[in-house]
């Protein structure tokens, strides 16, 4: 199933009706109700950017038995192609087990596309399937013999001279050259400890690419709080290293209660480099959504750290459009993003002193009021600030208990230009309210 979405996401009628009103922020790039993590971005000769990733389906375990693909021609209009590969049930292409599918990668050689998948199976943790299209379907999954180094998270890179490299592992990274069949590794080239947890903060999920004459390994980085919430990177003049730790590209800490890991990639598309990463939802580790931010390179090849935003690859979000509340890039306290229906996600579980932050909104030449679509569980107070809570307060909403969804309009202090937006809750103990969307006028 190939579906396009931007301002509207055409899949089922309820989803169309919801997003025909609410302008989708640029982050996350995963559509409402779809949870794609571990984004590996690839650009092929057709000029399309493809994001291969895990598809999460449960609040109690990671991933699922299928892979979906996100793709775009312009970074604004994203398409979803579903069920491109499966390890069980309908369209099962992994004959040797029914385990879920963890983080994948993909590459093209000649006229064939190769999908490299991995699973929580110690005897067969990685495999490869093929297709004549970057969107699959990928078929005939085969085990990859890792020569005793049985770990997960494959990445494949083809250098300028046509040499293909296979990258995988946790805590200690392994690299080997791929044979011309693109399905087997050359054991004579296998090296381990390319990067390590001790020397490079390497946790898992490495992605190899090249810019100019420098090789970049991007990976889940455990340098902060002993949690792999960062995407870090290391560089070398050779695919096999030695690699020098470069620092953090982005940290998804604070994206949702219960957030744990990060996993992603960097890619150049239409003369701009981007970092692709994921953020958690539902207050758990296992429901994640792919996001993207622009990055830059300094003259020495280093990458300055960037922050999580709601605007993602695009311009600041127009405050006078209806904005999806679930596009908050930072959450403090108990508030979380969760699915309200197959068509919609909301901010839920607001309690006293919780906050949701949006970066960034464009207030244009001024505003006079705000409309918020809200459900008041026990009621409370919603304070709205520009930039930070100790900066300018735009409005205070007093929300009376009302368990039906309803829209409230209140006046606000004028604001102009581009600012972050803060929602901060106050009230009695327990859950106060939920927010679906908001709009300034």
When mean pLDDT is compared across 10-14, 193-197, 275-279, 330-334, the lowest value belongs to 10-14
The stretches of 370-413 forming alpha helices (DSSP H) are none
Q: What is the domain-level CATH number for residue 345?
A: 2.60.120.260
**Cα(first)–Cα(last) distance of the chain, in Å?**
38
A 10 A CB-CB count for 302 gives 13
Neighbours of 133 (CB within 10 A): 12
Statement to judge: residues 395 and 356 lie in one domain: yes
Question: What is the per-residue pLDDT for 10?
Answer: 33
Same domain for 233 and 135, yes or no, is yes
Q: What is the pLDDT of residue 1?
A: 53
Same structural domain, 36 and 132 = yes
Listed residues 260, 295, 330: the one ending a domain: 295
Structure tokens at 171: 């805590």
Q: Is residue 422 a part of any domain in this protein? A: yes
CATH number of 83's domain: 2.115.10.20
Tokens of 13: 């009628």
Do both 323 and 268 map to the same domain? Answer: no
Token pair in block for residue 364: 């244009």
Q: Are residues 227 and 135 in the same domain?
A: yes
Q: Are residues 93 and 135 in the same domain?
A: yes
**Residue 24 pLDDT exceeds 80:** no
Q: Which of 295, 327, 354 is the last residue in one of the domains?
A: 295
Among residues 261, 295, 329, the one where a domain terminates is 295
Residues 376-404, buried b or exposed e (16+ Cβ, 10 A)? bbbebebbbbbeeeeeeebbebebeeeee
Q: Determine, yes or no, domain membership for 408.
A: yes
Q: Which long-range contacts (CB under 8 A, 24 or more apart) does 310-315 make?
A: 310/25, 310/26, 310/27, 310/358, 310/359, 310/360, 311/25, 311/26, 311/27, 311/359, 311/360, 312/25, 312/26, 312/27, 312/28, 312/29, 313/26, 313/75, 313/76, 313/274, 314/26, 314/75, 314/76, 315/362
Asked if residue 286 is part of any domain, the answer here is yes
Mean pLDDT of the region 34-49 = 97
Note whether 290 and 322 are same-domain residues: no
Q: What is the pLDDT of residue 16?
A: 37
* Same-domain pairing of 37 and 154: yes
Same domain, 178 and 265: yes
User: Does residue 307 lie in a domain region?
Assistant: no
- Does a structural domain hold residue 179? yes
* Position 342 in a domain: yes
Q: How many domains does the chain have?
A: 2
Does 144 share its domain with 216?
yes
**Which among 154, 190, 187, 184 is positioned nearest to 169, based on CA atoms?**
154
The reply to whether 202 and 344 lie within a common domain is: no
- The verdict on residue 394 lying in a domain is yes
Read off the pTM. 0.94
Q: What is the length of the chain?
A: 441
pLDDT in tens, 226-274: 999 999 999 999 999 999 999 999 999 999 999 999 999 999 999 999 9
Q: Is residue 274 part of a domain?
A: yes
Per-residue pLDDT reduced to its tens digit, 306-333? 999 999 999 999 999 999 999 999 999 9
Angle, alpha carbons 385-258-248 (nearest 5°): 75
Determine how many CB atoms are found less than 10 A away from the CB of residue 201: 22
**Residues 316/361, Cβ–Cβ less than 8 Å:** yes
371 is in which domain, residue-wise? 317-440
63 vs 337: CA distance, rounded Å: 18
User: Does 177 lie in the same domain as 34?
Assistant: yes
Residue 9, pLDDT > 70, answer: no
Region 351-375: what's the mean pLDDT?
98
């Amino acid at each position: 199933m190939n579906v396009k979405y931007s301002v509207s996401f055409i899949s089922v009628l309820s989803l169309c009706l919801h997003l025909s009103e609410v302008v989708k922020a640029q982050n996350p790039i995963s559509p409402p109700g779809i949870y794609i993590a571990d984004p590996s971005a690839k650009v092929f000769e057709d000029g399309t950017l493809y994001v291969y990733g895990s598809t999460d389906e449960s609040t109690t375990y990671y991933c699922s038995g299928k892979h979906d693909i996100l793709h775009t021609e312009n970074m604004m209009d994203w398409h979803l192609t579903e069920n491109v590969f499966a390890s069980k049930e309908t369209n099962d292409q992994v004959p040797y087990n029914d385990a879920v599918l963890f983080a994948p990668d993909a590459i093209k050689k000649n006229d064939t596309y190769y999908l490299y998948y991995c699973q929580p199976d110690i005897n067969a943790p990685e495999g490869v399937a093929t297709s004549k299209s970057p969107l699959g379907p990928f078929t005939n999954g085969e085990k990859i013999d890792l020569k005793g180094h049985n770990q997960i998270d494959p990445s494949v890179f083809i250098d300028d001279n046509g040499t293909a490299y296979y990258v995988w592992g946790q805590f200690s990274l392994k690299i080997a050259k791929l044979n011309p069949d693109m399905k087997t590794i050359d054991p004579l080239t296998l090296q381990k400890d390319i990067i390590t947890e001790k020397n490079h903060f390497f946790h898992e999920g490495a992605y190899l690419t090249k810019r100019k004459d420098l090789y970049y390994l991007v990976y889940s980085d455990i340098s902060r709080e002993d949690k792999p919430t960062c995407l870090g990177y290391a560089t070398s003049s050779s695919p096999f290293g030695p690699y020098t730790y470069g620092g953090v590209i982005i940290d998804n800490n604070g994206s949702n209660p219960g957030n744990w890991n990060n996993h992603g990639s960097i890619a150049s598309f239409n003369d701009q480099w981007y970092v692709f990463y994921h953020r958690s939802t539902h207050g758990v580790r296992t429901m994640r959504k792919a996001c993207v931010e622009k990055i830059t390179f300094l003259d020495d090849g280093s990458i300055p750290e960037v922050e999580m935003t709601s605007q993602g690859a695009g311009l600041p979000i127009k405050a006078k459009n209806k904005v999806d509340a679930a596009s908050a890039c930072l959450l403090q306290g108990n508030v979380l993003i969760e699915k309200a229906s197959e068509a919609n996600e909301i901010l839920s579980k607001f309690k006293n002193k919780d906050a949701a932050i949006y970066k960034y909104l464009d207030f244009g030449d001024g505003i006079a009021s705000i409309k918020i679509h809200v459900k008041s569980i026990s009621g409370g107070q919603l304070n709205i600030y520009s930039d930070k809570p100790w900066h300018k307060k735009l409005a205070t909403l007093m929300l009376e208990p009302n368990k039906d969804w309803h829209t409230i309009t209140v006046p606000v202090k004028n604001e102009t230009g581009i600012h972050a937006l803060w929602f901060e809750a106050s009230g009695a103990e327990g859950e106060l309210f939920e927010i679906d969307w908001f709009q300034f006028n």
